Structures are given as C-alpha cells and as structure tokens.
C-alpha cells in the first residue's frame, strides 16, 4: 500500500511541477524574452540618438574614429551611412567593401526622418543582429546588437529555470515520500481495524487525532464499530432470552429454510422424537410424517399460516401443527401435543354416546307406559291424567335430547362417514322447503324460496337435510304467526352460501358469538316450551365444518335473524 500511495503522490507532484515548468517556459519566458527584446531595442535607440548628436557636433574626430569609439562603449556594431546609402564608416568592416545600404529597412526609415529597427542576418559578418537607425543631420547612424549575446542571456536564464525545476522535483520526491509514508501508515491502521471488525472482533478500536478526511473516516469507523458491538450485544442477549424461552416450552418448535433444511429446533423437539436435530440437515431426517411435511410445504408455497392435525406423528401421540412463514422465506412450526386432549374428548364423546344410548330404552319404556295409561279408560280427567301427560312430554323431550346427543357425538368424532357428491344447489333448497311444508302449515308460517344459482356443491344430501331441518325448525319456532321464512343461496368464488331468514324478534348482539355452542339458548323458557334441545345449531356447525364450509349468523333485535352456511363448489 505504501508503494501505491507513494507512486500516486509522486506522480501527482511530477505532474504539478511539469505543468508549472511548461507554463513558465511557454508563457512567462516568451513574455520575458519579448520584454527584454524591447528593452534592448529602446536602449539601442537611446544610444543611437546620442551618437547621432555627436556625429552632428563633433568636428574634431573622423567618422571612423567615432564609430569605433561608440562600438567599444555600447558593445555594438556602429555604422555611419550617407543619404545616398553609401557606408561612410563601420566599426566591424571596411566601408569601401560594403554594399549600398539605402535599401535596408531601418536605413530607409531613418532616411525618411524616423527611427527604424529590424532583425536579420548580416551579410558582412554572418551574424544575426538587431539593427536600429536614426537620422543625424545629412547622415544616418546605425547601431547593431548581436542576438547571439541575447541568446546567451536566454540560455543562462533557461539553465537557471531547469536547475530550479530539478531542485523542486527533488524536494517533491522528499515531500512525496514523507506524505506517502504518513498516509500509508494511517491507512494500514484503518485497513487492519476494518479486517478485525470483518473477522468479528467488534471490540477493536482505532484512535484518530488528526482532523483531516482520513481522521474523520477513522473516527466514523470507530463509532460504527462501537454501535455494532452494542447492537450485536443486544441481539445476542435477545437471542439467548428467546432460546431460553423456547427451550422452556413443552411444545416443539422447529424452524426450516426454504430448502426444507433445519435452521433451529428447541429441546422439546429432541424429547419428542428422541433424536437430536442437526442444524443444516433435511427436516425429513427428523420427522417424516406426511401431514407435517405437507403443512410445511403449504406454508412455504402460500406464505400464509397453515394448520393441521397429525395423528400418530410420534408413536401413538397426536399433534396440532401450526406453520408460520418467516420473513427470510423459511417457516417456523409449532407442534402441540393434543394426545391427552383427544383422549379426554373421546372419553367425553363415548360417555355421551353411551349414556344417550342407554337412556333410549328406559325413555322409550316410560313414554310407552305413559301413552298406554293415557289411552286407558280407567284414567279419568283428574290430576292423574295431567301427571301422565307431563311424564309423556318430558320423556319425549328427553328422547329428542338423547337422539341429538348421539347425532352430535357421531358428527364431532367423524364416525359418521359423509357421502359427499355433487348436488345442484337449487335441488338441496327445494327438497328442504318441501320436507318442511307440513311443519310450516302447523306453525302458520309461509316458506318462501329466493334466488338460487345454477352451481353444484359438494355435499352429503342426508347431512344437508339435517342442516336445513334444524335451521328451518328454528326459523319456524321463532317466526311470528302470519310471517314467512325465506330460503335461498348466493354464489361466491369457490363456494355457494345458503341462507335461512326469519322475520321474528331477532337476537341481541351479545348472544351472537355463542349461538352455535351446545345447550346455549337465547330464550331458555321459550326454548323449553317449544321442545328445543339446544343442540340443533351445534349439529349444524359441525356438519358444515366437516364439509369444509363455514357458518355465521346476522341478526338484530326486532329485525329477525339470518343464518348462513357455505359449501364448496363441485
């Protein structure tokens, strides 16, 4: 890194110095040369004008003497020329051998009464001169300055400039080495610090005392490392707390990746399957139950919560499975052991079924003997007949109760297998309305059929007869005389929703959440008088759920009630 920084700094310094040198050479040097040339020309003009005055006024010396003296004083070539261009005197050559100078530009200008100047190679001595000529009475005096001397001055100045450039370059090298060493040392510290942080050592720190950009970067990185250490400590503490919480659960918790590989599992899973979960291994190595795996795949595909019941997941134990999608694409699954709940529930169902079954025979006997006694002529119309009628009515009610309990037990346990086939929705409604017409006439209530879609639904016809019979019986029971009960259906995506609507007193909102519970009655006195058992809506609910549908109720006091249940389309 030091070499790279050094080379870059050195290259930058060399470029700056080269640019500065070229700028001086091509702009300042040319400007200075032009200025020096003008200064020499002015000096020559001044000397020539002074010499012109001497030539006009000095009658003691010859023109050749005056030319030679002026040449020594001014270090120039001095020439005196007549008006016709003939050279009268010259400090460097024999005037007799020199050609006529009337055609020289500077001489021609002087002959016209103005000063003249020109730069050219002398044909006499073969040297380039700067010529200046001025008029002097009837003559012209001319001074010539050799440009070789001028070029020597320029070369000396250029040499000085090059030496200065060399010294500047040397100084730049020393400065580049010092700067590169300082910068590379600081950058190596920053790189080492960054590598420590990248390796997971968040306790690494870097001190920065300077206020330049590198110091600001170092302080920002140090601050970032401190913040990361605090955040990671917080995350680590939260993770440990979460692991402790999950490991303390009796329910099994297992997280899997989108590739169905184990990400994490609590200790309850190990106790359930008697096998340690290996992180990164396929979940099928731990649990192979098809219901469990299908629930995981469904949650991964739908990105929604999925639930299922897996019988005999581990040995003879059953579990409820809840799979919840994770933000990274995986799934976390909770396994809750419901073996004891199912055992207790089965015991309860068996008890109710057994008791109900055992009660049927004595209740039938009681009702039969009561009816026999009522039909006997030996019983008058006194209190005995009234008592016998009470016995018969209660025996009938208990008989209906035991029948409903047996039906509910069979429906809840799933022992009653459903013969699910496609049925037209209008056919189910028509059969239900037809079978309940006699009961409707007795209750003086009209059964009206609304609009029904042409769709077919998947249903057991006998079970649907039980559902409609219970709902219509309730509607007839609570509908006021002279009113009607409306039956119909509406088509929805994937299902058909049936409804039974009465126009009776309605149900208060506080009763609606519990209306489908067993033995729950809104009006207990009226229900008993009408012979209700309190199990009809519970039977409806479980039958519909076994069909894969849903039930609900809408009602308000004084505006009647509407019971809805949906069935999947064929």
Helix, strand, coil: what percent of the chain each, to 5? Answer: 55, 20, 25
pLDDT at 1: 47
DSSP three-state, residue 131: strand
Has residue 165 been placed in a domain?
no
DSSP letter at 261 equals B
Residue 183: CA atoms inside 13 Å, Cβ hemisphere, count? 18
**Residue 547 within a domain:** yes
In a domain, 169, yes or no: no
Q: Is residue 189 part of a domain?
A: no
| One domain for residues 563 and 480 | yes
Query: What is the predicted pLDDT for the residue at 498?
Result: 93
Same domain, 293 and 360: no
Residues in the chain: 570
Do 383 and 242 lie in a common domain?
Answer: no
What does pLDDT average to in each consecutive run of 10 residues of the chain (570 residues)?
Answer: 61 73 68 78 86 85 87 87 89 86 86 86 76 88 83 76 75 74 76 76 71 74 78 77 72 85 82 80 83 86 84 75 85 82 72 68 75 69 72 72 66 68 90 86 85 89 86 81 81 90 84 76 54 72 86 86 90
In terms of domains, do 359 and 469 share one? no
Decide if 175 is inside a domain. Answer: no
What pTM, to 2 d.p., does this model score? 0.45
Measured torsion, CA atoms of residues 180, 185, 191, 192, in degrees rounded to the nearest 10: 160
Residues 332 and 388 reside in one and the same domain: no
User: Is residue 409 exposed (0-12), middle (13-18) or buried (19+ Cβ within 10 Å)?
Assistant: buried
Q: How many domains does the chain have?
A: 5
Task: Identify whether residues 468 and 422 lie together within a single domain.
Answer: yes
End-of-domain residue from the set 361, 395, 412: 412
Asked if residue 181 is part of any domain, the answer here is no
Residues 561 and 486 in one domain: yes
- The verdict on residue 331 lying in a domain is yes
Instruction: Give the pair of three-digit tokens for residue 97.
Output: 């051998």
Same domain, 263 and 318: yes
Task: Please give the residue range of the domain that contains residue 236.
Answer: 203-247
CATH number, domain with residue 379: 1.10.287
| Alpha helices (H) along 199-285 | 213-247, 267-273
Q: Measured in Å, how far apart are the chain's first and last C-alpha atoms?
A: 75
Can you give the pLDDT at residue 499? 92
Looking at residue 497, what is its pLDDT? 92
Say whether both 39 and 140 belong to one domain.
yes
Residue-wise burial string across 179-192, b where 16 or more C-beta atoms lie within 10 A, e elsewhere: bbeebbebbeebee
Residues 11 and 109 in one domain: yes
Query: Could you tell me if 278 and 256 are in contact, meaning their C-beta atoms sit under 8 angstroms apart?
Result: no
Q: Which of 412, 442, 461 is the last residue of a domain?
A: 412
Bridge-partner residues for 332, per DSSP?
255, 324
Q: Which of 144, 140, 145, 113 is nearest to 52 (CA)?
A: 140
The answer to whether the CB of 488 falls within 8 A of the CB of 471 is: no
295: CATH: 3.30.450.20
- Do residues 424 and 550 both lie within one domain? yes
We report the CATH number of the domain holding residue 480 as: 3.30.565.10
The runs of H, that is alpha helices, within 420-505 are: 425-435, 437-442, 461-478
166 within some domain:
no
Do residue 80 and residue 147 come from a single domain? yes
Among 247, 282, 300, identify where a domain stops. Answer: 247
Q: So what's the pLDDT on residue 412?
A: 64
């Amino acid at each position: 890194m030091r070499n790279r920084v050094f080379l870059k700094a050195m290259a930058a310094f060399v470029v700056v110095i080269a640019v500065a040198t070229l700028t001086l050479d091509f702009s300042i040097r040319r400007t200075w040369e032009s200025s020096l040339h003008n200064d020499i020309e002015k000096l020559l003009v001044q000397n020539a004008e002074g010499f012109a005055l001497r030539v006009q006024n000095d009658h003691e010396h010859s023109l050749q003497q005056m030319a030679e003296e002026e040449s020594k004083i001014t270090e120039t070539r001095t020439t005196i020329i007549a008006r016709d261009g003939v050279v009268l005197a010259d400090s460097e050559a024999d005037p007799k051998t020199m050609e006529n100078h009337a055609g020289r530009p500077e001489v021609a200008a002087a002959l016209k009464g103005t000063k003249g100047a020109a730069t050219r190679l002398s044909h006499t001595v073969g040297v380039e001169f700067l010529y200046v000529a001025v008029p002097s009475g009837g003559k012209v005096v001319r001074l010539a300055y050799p440009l070789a001397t001028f070029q020597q001055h320029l070369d000396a100045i250029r040499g000085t400039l090059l030496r200065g450039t060399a010294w500047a370059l040397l100084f730049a090298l020393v400065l580049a080495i010092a700067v590169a060493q300082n910068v590379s040392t600081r950058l190596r510290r920053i790189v080492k610090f960054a590598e420590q942080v990248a390796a997971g050592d968040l306790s690494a720190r870097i001190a920065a005392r300077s206020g330049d950009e590198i110091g600001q970067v170092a302080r920002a990185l140090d601050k970032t490392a401190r913040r990361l250490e605090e955040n990671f400590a917080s995350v680590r503490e939260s993770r440990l707390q979460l692991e402790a919480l999950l490991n303390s659960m009796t329910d099994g918790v297992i997280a899997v990746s989108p590739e169905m590989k184990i990400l994490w599992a609590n200790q309850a899973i190990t106790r359930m399957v008697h096998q340690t979960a290996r992180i990164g291994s396929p979940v099928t190595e731990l649990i192979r139950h098809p219901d469990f795996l299908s629930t995981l795949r469904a949650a991964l595909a739908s990105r929604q919560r999925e639930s299922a019941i897996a019988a005999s997941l581990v040995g003879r134990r059953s579990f409820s499975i809840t799979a919840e999608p994770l933000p990274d694409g995986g799934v976390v699954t909770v396994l809750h052991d419901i073996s004891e709940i199912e055992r207790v529930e089965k015991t309860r169902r068996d008890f109710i079924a057994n008791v109900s079954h055992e009660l049927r025979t004595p209740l039938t006997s009681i009702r039969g003997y009561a009816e026999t006694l009522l039909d006997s002529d030996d019983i008058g119309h006194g209190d005995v007949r009234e008592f016998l009628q009470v016995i018969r009515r209660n025996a009938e009610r208990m008989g209906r109760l035991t029948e409903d309990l047996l039906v509910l037990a069979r429906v809840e346990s799933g022992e009653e297998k459903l013969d699910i086939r496609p049925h037209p929705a209008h056919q189910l409604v028509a059969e239900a309305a037809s079978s309940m017409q006699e009961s409707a006439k007795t209750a003086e209530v009209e059964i009206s059929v609304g609009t029904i879609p042409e769709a077919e639904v998947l249903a057991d016809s006998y079970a649907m007869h039980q559902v409609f019979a219970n709902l219509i019986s309730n509607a007839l029971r609570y509908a006021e005389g002279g009113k009607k009960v409306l039956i119909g259906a509406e088509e929805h995506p994937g299902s058909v929703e049936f409804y039974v609507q009465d126009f009776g007193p309605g149900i208060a909102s506080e009763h609606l959440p519990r209306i489908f519970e067993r033995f729950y009655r809104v009006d207990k006195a009226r229900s008993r008088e009408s012979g209700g058992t309190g199990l009809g809506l519970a039977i409806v609910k479980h039958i519909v759920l076994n069909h894969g549908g849903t039930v609900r109720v809408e009602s308000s006091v004084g505006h009647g009630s509407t019971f809805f249940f949906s069935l999947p389309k064929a």
